[in-house]
Amino acid sequence: MQSQIPIRLDKIKEENIDNEILRTGIISELDAINPYEQMAAKTDDKDIKAVHLDIAMEEKTYVREFLSLLLKGDTENDKGMEERREEVEELTHT
């Protein structure tokens, strides 16, 4: 279980600190999603399953919030995201 920030913020250049904080938030939320989904998959109790899946969904919302902030104002990344979306559509025929 993670209880400390997994990076040394004092080693990060000042101009990169905000992005590193956001990336760390994303990593932390992704680390939280997996156990909730795994526990939900293991139980037959519908209430326990429902609560764990609901919590996992909340964690995914936080990932999207951090990612939105990370990508905000990054026009280079916007283009890259659109290209990746198009590539996925081609590969999956959707």
Mean pLDDT score of the chain:
85
| Among the listed residues 70, 51, 48, the one whose alpha carbon sits nearest the alpha carbon of residue 59 | 51
| Among the listed residues 22, 42, 19, the one whose alpha carbon sits nearest the alpha carbon of residue 30 | 22
Q: How confident is the model over 33-66, as pLDDT tens digits?
A: 999 999 999 999 999 999 999 999 999 999 999 9
Q: pTM of the entire structure? A: 0.72
Query: CA-to-CA distance for 7 and 18, rounded, in angstroms?
Result: 13
Helix axes 75-92, 46-71, angle to 10 degrees: 130
Q: 59: how many CB neighbours lie within 10 A of its CB? A: 19
70 or 73: which carries more pLDDT confidence?
70
Residue 28 scores a pLDDT above 80: yes
Instruction: Dig out the tokens for 80 from the structure.
Output: 């890259």
